[in-house]
Amino acid sequence: MSQFNVLMGKELRESWRSFKILWIPLVFILLGVSDPILNYYLMDILKAVGEMPEGFQMVMPELSPADILAASTGQFQSIGLIVLIATFVGTISRERQNGTATLLYVRPISHMALFLSKWLVACLVAVISVIAGYAASLYYTVLLYGPVQWDQFIGMLATYLLWICLIMAVTVAMSAAFKTVIAATLTIIMVIGGTIFESLIGSFLSISPWKLPSSALSLLSDYYDRTNFILNLSLSTGLLIFFIVLGIFMCQRNASTTEI
Amino acid sequence: MGELQAVPWALIAPLLLIQLILMVVALIDLSRIHATNGPKWLWAIIIIIGNLLGSIVYFIIGRKQS
Amino acid sequence: MTLISVSDLTKTFGNQTVVDHISFSIESNTSTALIGPNGAGKTTTLSMLTGLLSQTSGSIKMDGVKDMRSVIGFLPQYPKFFSWLSALEYTEMAAKLSGVEAKQARLQSQKILEYVGLGSALHKKTETFSGGMKQRLGIAQALVHKPKLLLLDEPVSALDPVGRREIMNLLKEIQNETTILYSTHILNDAEEMTDQLLFLRGGKLVEKGSLNEVRARFEEPRIKIKFSSQEQALQFASQAELHCNVEGETVFVEIDHDQPTMQQLLNRLANSNFSIESIEKVTANLEEIFMKVVGSHESV
């Protein structure tokens, strides 16, 4: 346990001194506020930017608070995920490649403590970022579009946080299993590729690993289909455990590939 | 001038402020870090001109990690 | 007392055998030099001893120790530290990871950093360190948990002459308190600090023993005769009917261990008109022994 604390302390120090724990939440806040503001002022902005042709009339759909939170989620799902994956995909592999891991691995460390410290700190940064991003989005959404039910919002947030912890488990596990470049490629294909795949043909599937974000959003409105919510939640939890176990195993197996 | 006044500054200001903070954080990190991938002055320009994206790109690939 | 015994240690990568059935043991409080040219398998051997690599076959045994990693200190040839930690933070973390209790870890870290000469750089980030300072920090982190066996991979090869001298002196001091196994391809270093020599070549252990033992085994005593002129030297060499090497005015005569040859040589010189400046017996240095050890297995 004390060893886990030492490794955890090291990771926390690293994310503080490299400003990770500061700049990533700031990026998520920016992503979170951009949609409520841009959508609200879209007409004004269009008018200010260019002359509209005579008689041009744009029909703006009436947006609900849930639609705006969904749009912010879309931002987190693209730029947000790429930032998080790019930041943490080297967390184990880079230490092996640049040789800093060598002096850790020659000590009697547990690879479980090592992996968990890496994953938990990645989760901490990701969770703070997502909460900050949604809080910012929510603030402007309530201000400009109307109230959101608290219990629904919390349910949505909690579900999305499970998703983000799953993504971090995949990212860190890939980092444990491969070199940084390969790990990054595989994680992007699995997560971003999967998300695109889901958006294209997801409506034909009742459960899939990439359904969790839409499951989360379904909690915000009574119009969405919620039938497979529990099933998707269980699938993601199972995958989360799978990737943690895989990551620990890969940490152990690849310890000898560290640069001496 | 009327158009400028029409801009809802009270709403936009926090957005600009956060961008500014992010930029400052990136610049502080750049000034303290020992080495970057590529020349430091280039990263300073990227951070200042590149706004949100400039700072993100600096943090992800500009920092030399070891 | 034997600290560690290694028997038939072998490592193969694919169909390439990098370390080939090597066996040796190390006594407590001695220092052992692992000598060999680049690619001889020194680093691979050390990696197996640290537990970073697992051996293909053979065994590494330390009496009464379950997890050897807890009693070993390791310094790689190019130690890499986390650039965002200070020397003290790094050493403290290293001590704690090896199971030293928190308060003690702080104390031992400060003490060892002072000892290796980094007392004034305790709170400096490691990214600002020079090569010599990094090597000192490397030694500090390898010693901080008071290991029974210190493994050093080419501890001075990457340093400039001043840094090398400083680190060698430091190691000689440490030598009195702990057991050291270090690899090197620089023979002067080995000659300076060693109780046991292990010659590694092509993954095989080709020679082992103390410096004197090895020296005696490979000694081919030579007589160095300096004549007053080169003509004399050449003239002597052509008449001598012995194995001679001429270098300017100097002739090196290879002689056997049996005394008659030596006697004959002296007699011949005494009865001749050669004008001789000096005669001396030359003993081989480690470099020459090394070339012989390596050379004698060239055909293998």
Give the DSSP letter of residue A202: G
Q: Would the CB atoms of A260 and C85 count as touching at under 8 Å?
A: no
pLDDT digits (tens, 9 = 90+) for C107-152: 999 999 999 999 999 999 998 998 889 999 999 999 999 999 999 9
pTM above threshold 0.80: yes
pLDDT digits (tens, 9 = 90+) for A93-152: 999 999 999 999 999 999 999 999 999 999 999 999 999 999 999 999 998 888 999 989
Q: Would the CB atoms of B18 and A44 count as touching at under 8 Å?
A: no
C164 and C63 share one domain: yes
C18 and C64 share one domain: yes
Q: Domain boundary at C185, C216, C247, which?
A: C216
Mean pLDDT value across residues C222-241: 82
Give yes or no for a contact between A73 and A28, defined as CB atoms under 8 angstroms apart.
no
Domain-by-domain residue ranges, chain B?
23-66
C132 and C197 share one domain: yes
What CATH number does the domain containing C155 carry?
A: 3.40.50.300
C61 and C109 share one domain: yes
Report chain C residues whose CB lies below 8 A from the CB of B34. 83, 125, 127-128
C264 and C209 share one domain: no
Report d(CA C148, CA A198) in Å as an integer: 57
Report d(CA A188, CA A86) in Å as an integer: 9
> What are the residues whose beta carbons fall under 8 Å from the beta carbon of C94, sequence distance 6 or more?
A103, A107, C141, C144, C145
C122 and C167 share one domain: yes
Domain assignment of residue C294, yes or no: no
Residue C300: pLDDT above 50? no
Residue C223: pLDDT above 50? yes
| Domains identified in chain A, total number | 1
C104 and C64 share one domain: yes
Domain assignment of residue C288, yes or no: no
A residues 224-243 lying closer than 8 A (beta carbon) to C: none
Give yes or no for a contact between C50 and C74, defined as CB atoms under 8 angstroms apart.
yes
Give yes or no for a contact between C200 and C41, defined as CB atoms under 8 angstroms apart.
yes
Q: Domain boundary at C193, C216, C239, which?
A: C216
Give yes or no for a contact between B22 and A30, defined as CB atoms under 8 angstroms apart.
yes
Q: What angle do CA C236, C242, C243 make, to 5 degrees?
A: 105
C206 and C244 share one domain: no
What CATH number does the domain containing C237 carry?
A: 3.30.70
Domain assignment of residue C83, yes or no: yes
Using the Cβ of A97 and the Cβ atoms of chain C, whether some distance falls under 8 Å is answered with no
Domain assignment of residue C237, yes or no: yes
The backbone torsions φ and ψ at residue A83, rounded to the nearest 5 degrees and listed phi first, read: -60, -45
Domain with A96, as residue range(s), is 2-257
Domain assignment of residue C300, yes or no: no
Residue C299: pLDDT above 70? no
Q: Which amino acid is at A13?
A: R
Nearest chain B CA: its distance from C154 CA (Å): 22
C194 and C60 share one domain: yes
Domain with C266, as residue range(s), is 220-283
Q: Domain boundary at C186, C216, C246, which?
A: C216
Report chain B residues whose CB lies below 8 A from the CB of A18. 29, 63, 65
- Of the candidate ranges B27-36, C161-170, C252-261, the one whose mean pLDDT is the lowest: C252-261
Give yes or no for a contact between A160 and A135, defined as CB atoms under 8 angstroms apart.
no
With H, G, I as helix, E, B as strand and everything else as coil, classify residue A58: coil
Nearest chain C CA: its distance from B28 CA (Å): 15
Structure tokens at B60: 């992800």
C interface with A, Cβ–Cβ < 8 A, is: 43, 47, 50-54, 67, 69-70, 72, 74, 76-82, 84-85, 89, 93-94, 96-99, 102, 141, 153
Alpha-carbon dihedral B35, B36, B40, B46, rounded to 10 degrees: -160
Report chain A residues whose CB lies below 8 A from the CB of B50. none
**CB-based burial of residue A255 (10 Å sphere; 0-12 exposed, 13-18 middle, 19+ buried)?**
buried
C interface with B, Cβ–Cβ < 8 A, is: 80-83, 125, 127-128
pLDDT digits (tens, 9 = 90+) for B12-66: 888 889 999 999 999 999 998 888 888 999 999 999 998 889 999 999 999 876 5
| Domains identified in chain C, total number | 2
With H, G, I as helix, E, B as strand and everything else as coil, classify residue C80: coil
C112 and C228 share one domain: no
